[in-house]
Structure 1
Amino acid sequence: MSFVELPSVASWRHEGARAGFEVAFFSVNDRGPRVEGTTTATEDGRSWVVDYVIQLDGSWLTRSARIAGRGAGSTVVTVIETDGRGHWQVDGVAAPHLQGCLDLDLEASAMTNTFPVHRLHLPVERPVAAPAAYIRAVGLAADRLVQTYSRSGEGHYDYTAPAFDFSCRLVYDQHGLILDYPGIATRIQ
């Protein structure tokens, strides 16, 4: 599936698992797409804010990110770097548990599910593994997330994350941005 140019801004309302909001701003520089955003939510009685700046290369591979999380009176900042071939550093330290991951997935964000569908150019009905460096909303811990995507039709992708016993059908727009992430978020702009 081919996508049209990203808009300058998009917004999502968190729903189901948490209540909140996400806004992301898109631009392209000489390295590739760049996304700057903020997501705020209350989940399980805990409120948090996550700010992010993510740099991708021209193939939609994550190359770097600066993530700041605030909650319960403290702020944590994490810097992520990767070579685009599956080698990661978190705050300047090698992260071998993320070896082979090509995408960054923020627990706080519906937007980061944009990256694999742009990068993979999936054929219809063929599941593809897309393990990701998964950054938790509270505390910003970096874990490996096993996940798969399978394009089921125009703008529709079946998504699974076995660690969470979660699967759903994601709906994307012509830009390759999520419109509907069942139980997580809905695009409002």
Structure 2
Amino acid sequence: MQTIATIFWRRLDAPGHDACRLERHGESWQLDGAAVFRHTDGRPARLDYRVFCDKAWHAKWGRVRGWVGESPVDISVARNPRGDWTLNDEVVPDLGHCVDLDLGFTPATNLVQLRRIHLDKGDSAEVAAAWIDLDGESLSALVQHYRRRGDGAYDYHAPRFDYKDTLKVGAEGFVTHYPGLWETVA
């Protein structure tokens, strides 16, 4: 294992922080992080997460453990060889088109998507991700649009959440400014 980069974010829409590191495991990649924040319903949350990708940045599995308020969280997500996504070992239908895994409570997983699609300036891509919803402990499709504006700037749109803005991205691929939601702490 080799640590490639680390980052520390501050949440902007509620109290919270997130620390993450990008690791190389042979030819594979792994995000390993921990987030502590106030959940949308006001409850405190502490979540450890890990996302494992192959050498081409295709998400293979993810794990989220911790708690939200008094409720424990222990979520395991994987993509099997047939391309089906599983949530806690149960196949979730209609997600075979999703290549990426998105953990909605952290900006960390945007790195995986951006590295996989590797856009040149002016290029754009639509990305379908298997998205973990903490409230229902469910997995569903999340369509996202990226357009690279230039070095370190991507127009981003997530229609499901009516979110549209320009993300700032550092040299290693981590989002450094997610307007209204997250920013790095020096």
Same fold (TM over 0.5): yes
TM-score when scaled to structure 2? 0.90
Q: How much does 1:124 deviate?
A: 2.4
Per the alignment, residue 70 of structure 1 pairs with 67
Secondary structure of residue in 1 paired with 2:116 = helix
Moved over 6 A (4+): none
| Structure 2 unmatched ranges of 5 or more | none
Q: From the two aligned structures, give the one with the greater strand fraction.
A: 2
Q: Does residue 1:122 correspond to 2:119, yes or no?
A: yes
* Residues 110 and 178, structure 1, Cα contact 8 Å, conserved in 2: yes
Per the alignment, residue 99 of structure 2 pairs with 102
Q: How much does 1:8 deviate?
A: 3.9
| Structure 1 unmatched ranges of 5 or more | none
* Residues 85 and 100, structure 1, Cα contact 8 Å, conserved in 2: no
User: For residues 186 and 108 of structure 1, what CA distance do their matches in structure 2 show?
Assistant: 14
* Residues 31 and 56, structure 1, Cα contact 8 Å, conserved in 2: no
Distance change (3 Å), C-alpha of 1:126 and 1:9: closer
Q: Which has the higher contact order (CA 8 A, sep 6+)?
A: 1
Distance change (3 Å), C-alpha of 1:8 and 1:157: closer
CA deviations 1:110-136 (Å, max 9, x no partner) are: 111111110001132232110111112
TM-score when scaled to structure 1? 0.89
User: For residues 180 and 15 of structure 1, what CA distance do their matches in structure 2 show?
Assistant: 10
RMSD: 1.9
Question: What percent of counterpart residues are identical?
Answer: 29
Q: Does residue 1:152 correspond to 2:149, yes or no?
A: yes
Report how many residues are paired: 184
